[in-house]
Structure 1
Amino acid sequence: MTKLKFNGSWNEIKGKLKQKYAQLTDDDLLFAEGKDEEVLGRLQQKLGETKENLRETIAKL
């Protein structure tokens, strides 16, 4: 999977990610269309997870 696919709106997913990972801030989750790799990179640095694991987590939300 090369692009993030959202099963809901980004705001809903953002809220769920912040519930799951309390250390995330709104700045960590800034998203602009076409910038999914940038978001994944920030999350990867902050959470210490692989991009693939993060994609799977987001897809399940």
Structure 2
Amino acid sequence: MNWDIIEGKWSQFKGEAQVKWGKLTNDDLDVIAGKQEKLVGRLQERYGYNKEKAEQAVEEWQSRLD
């Protein structure tokens, strides 16, 4: 799925993101607001991922939304 679609429908996808990454708070999801780079950054903060691992996790999640 194209990230622009995810961003545009973030309110629908943020619940799925929270299921996938339980350490993300509602406040985190509000701040992310569908922005891919913000999601990557929050995964780095909450899970201690390096940037590459966080980007890979986001890409895998994105591909499963198709």
- TM-score, normalisation: structure 1: 0.59
Counterpart for residue 24 of structure 2: 24
User: Is the helix fraction higher in 1 or 2?
Assistant: 2
Structure 1 vs Structure 2 CA RMSD: 2.8
State yes or no: 1:41 paired with 2:33: no
Q: TM-score, normalised by structure 2?
A: 0.57
Indicate the residue corresponding to 1:15 in structure 2: 15
* Pairwise CA distance, 1:32: 4.5
- The alignment covers a number of residue pairs equal to 57
Structure 1 stretches of 4+ moved >3 Å:
none
Residue 57 (structure 1) aligned with residue 61 (structure 2): yes
Residue 10 of structure 1 and its aligned partner are, at CA, apart by 0.6
Q: Name the structure, 1 or 2, with higher relative contact order (CA <8 Å, separation 6+).
A: 1
State the percentage of identical aligned residues: 35
Contact persistence 2:7–2:33 (CA under 8 A): no
